[in-house]
Amino acid sequence: MKIKSLLLSFFDAWFERYGKEYIAHYPYYYMNCGITLSEDEVGSMSPQMFIQFALPSLVELSEHFGGIGIHCCATARHQWDNFLKIPNLKLINLVQPAEITIEAYKFFTKHTCQMHNWCGEGEPHTWPRQYPEGARVVMQVYAADKDQAVELAEKLWVACGR
């Protein structure tokens, strides 16, 4: 209750002063409204405890701010169904081994945008073929210099069907 009150007060003041567009805290991604937060503690609670202690506040925060992005690096597969109960879940970021992340891409495809630590095997332009059809994915791609960045962007543009 105290943390929810703090978040409501802080973000209301922040957005009033700086506007509603920002780069999320971790990982870095653009948000045009809503808040982002980490939910690592949910790995250590049962789904019933999540529903009782976490879900009401997450729902209120998401509804109040127009959406929510969630980072979770806990082993929390048992909470995935509960994450889907949060209205306007804008993005889910899971930091897990590749085999769990691949499962997450399938699970969340119809529900929200995803940005996980594992983006695919091989060259970045091959990654979109490794995602389930219809998945909305923010990929973390790095380049050594401008020329490489332009080349990567062109290949990804084609690979994403643009």
Residue 9, in any domain of the structure: yes
> Domain residues for 26?
2-118
Residue 35, in any domain of the structure: yes
CB atoms inside a 10 Å sphere around CB 94: 26
Residue 141, in any domain of the structure: no
Q: Residue 83: its pLDDT value, please?
A: 98
Residue 77, in any domain of the structure: yes
Q: What is the pLDDT of residues 2-51, one digit of tens each?
A: 899 999 999 999 999 999 999 998 889 999 999 999 999 999 999 999 99
Cis peptide leading into 128, omega within 30 of 0?
no
Q: What is the pLDDT of residues 89-140, one digit of tens each?
A: 999 999 999 999 999 999 999 999 999 999 999 999 999 999 999 999 999 9
Enter the tokens of residue 84: 């889907």
Residue 90, in any domain of the structure: yes
Number of structural domains the chain divides into: 1
Quote the CA–CA distance of 29 and 151 in Å, as a whole number: 22
Residue 105, in any domain of the structure: yes
AA identity, residue 59: V
Residue 125, in any domain of the structure: no
Average pLDDT over residues 141-145: 95
Confidence of residue 1 (pLDDT cuts 50, 70, 90): confident
